[in-house]
Amino acid sequence: MRAVKGISMLVGIIVALLLGAESYLRFVLKEVPAPFKNNFAESFAKLMEFDPTIGNRYRINIDQAIESPTGDFTILYKTNEINLRDRAMGTHLRQELKFLVFGDEFAEGWGSDIDRAFAVQAHNQVNEKTALNPPIRTVIAAQSGFGAAQNYLVGKKLFETIQPKAAIFFYTSLMPHADSQFLRDAVVENGVASGLKSNVAQTPRLPHLEDHVAVPANFLSRLALVSVLAYRAAEMLAMRAANADLKIGDPVTDRLAGMRGTAAGLEAAHAASLRHVGELAALAQAKQIPFLLVHLPLPPQISAQDWAGGRRLFEVEEGLQPSNDVAVVESFCTQHKIRCISLHNPMHEAGEHSSLFFANELALSLEGSNWVGSWLAEEILRWMLELGYRH
């Protein structure tokens, strides 16, 4: 009898704890039960096609609504006639002062409709403040999931076809991992990629898949429809499975390897990426195209609170993360005499007043896009004076 009472009491305590945890998640953290969304790859695949040089590119003239699996945003993806996620280029006779913008998902504008991408905002603000004729035009050559090697290969082509007046490379510490994935399938000579190997499977590698866990359909995931606690448990188990091979600081397995690790480890992690940045800068110099490198921070480097879901997924330690990658990039820029600006400190200060990143996605929030867009507009205006464009 006592044993039965003991078991009943234990069960009661467990139930009370579960109910308390569920109530805390619902009423304090304001979380609600939701289905897991595992159809992201299917939606994004409609945008992509295989490219024998860079691996994957956007299909031309596509309009596709994309909802992030985390629910952070729903955006309309629009691509143009030259496979870029950008506005239509129009006739090639159109005279514009073209500024090529290189980078990854941040520079492309993942998380924003195209008119809110920071490169487009900068374009609009510069033209509103100047009387230049012809006006400037930012051309977004950046693409989600790209490393520096793919940007270099895209730049080789666009320097010829677009003939830009300047090039701006938004470098992030996601690139060491992206480059490790691309370069293992690439033809590399003297450390520089020239395209993919001929035996590589002709299927595009979709971006953003590593930023979301696919939760298997089982009892726990079905229970998540009515229980936040079950949702968290199913998510945690899926994250553990996804990170089974994760080695912190290893560019092959760690999406954030460019941000975390020892000083020597960071230098090694960035080596291949910065090698390709240097090649692109040298190519620009040979063509007399002014080149600027802008180093963007990752969310944990500017805020101790933002990007909570991403921190859980990638096992990021609590608190503000150090920006030891800044020294690596600045040393490279000094060595190669490349104009270089780090936005880590300015964005940290701006992040004290508003959230510059989404809670889960590796993407700038609307406030973040606005901030970078305004900063970029002012930088372009200063740069144009140096380049001799009067406004």
If we measure between CA atoms, which residue out of 75, 86, 165 comes closest to residue 119? 86
User: What is the H or E stretch that residue 368 is in?
Assistant: helix 366-387
Give the model confidence (pLDDT) of 342-387 as tens digits: 999 999 999 998 999 999 999 999 999 999 999 999 999 999 888 8
What CA–CA distance (Å, rounded) separates 235 from 215?
7
pLDDT (average), residues 312-320: 92
Is the pLDDT at 12 greater than 70? The verdict is: no
Give the model confidence (pLDDT) of 255-267 as tens digits: 999 999 888 899 9
pLDDT (average), residues 271-275: 99
Cis peptide before 204 (omega within 30 of 0): no
Weakest mean pLDDT among 108-112, 154-158, 216-220, 304-308: 216-220
Average predicted confidence (pLDDT) for the chain: 87
Q: Where are the beta strands (DSSP E) in 210-315?
A: 291-295
Q: What is the Rg, in whole angstroms, of the alpha carbon atoms belonging to the chain? A: 23
If we measure between CA atoms, which residue out of 115, 146, 172, 100 comes closest to residue 357? 172
Q: Are strands 186-189 and 192-196 parallel, antiparallel or unpaired?
A: antiparallel
SS3 58: strand
Q: Which residues contact 220 (CB under 8 A, 6 or more apart)?
A: 230, 233, 234, 237
Weakest mean pLDDT among 71-80, 116-125, 283-292, 322-331: 71-80
Is the pLDDT at 47 greater than 90? The verdict is: yes
Cis peptide before 176 (omega within 30 of 0): no
Question: In residues, how long is the chain?
Answer: 391
SS3 138: strand
Is the pLDDT at 289 greater than 70? The verdict is: yes
* Partners of 56 in beta bridges: 50
Confidence of residue 132 (pLDDT cuts 50, 70, 90): confident
What CA–CA distance (Å, rounded) separates 283 from 277?
10
Weakest mean pLDDT among 14-18, 172-176, 235-239, 249-253: 14-18
Query: 12 — phi, psi (to 5°)?
Result: -60, -40
pLDDT (average), residues 39-57: 90
If we measure between CA atoms, which residue out of 269, 310, 312 comes closest to residue 105? 310
What CA–CA distance (Å, rounded) separates 74 from 112?
8
Q: What is the DSSP letter of 364?
A: B
Give the model confidence (pLDDT) of 59-107 as tens digits: 999 999 998 888 899 999 999 999 999 999 986 556 889 999 999 999 9
Are 361 and 73 contacting, i.e. CB atoms less than 8 angstroms apart? yes
Are 354 and 261 contacting, i.e. CB atoms less than 8 angstroms apart? no
Confidence of residue 231 (pLDDT cuts 50, 70, 90): low
What CA–CA distance (Å, rounded) separates 80 from 87?
6
Segments making up each domain of the chain, as ranges? 1-30, 34-387
Domain covering 34-387 assigned CATH 3.40.50.1110 in the classification: yes
Weakest mean pLDDT among 67-81, 202-216, 288-302: 202-216
Q: Is the pTM value of this prediction over 0.85?
A: yes
What CA–CA distance (Å, rounded) separates 327 from 221?
44
Residue 301: both structure tokens together: 């480097």
What CA–CA distance (Å, rounded) separates 150 from 273?
10
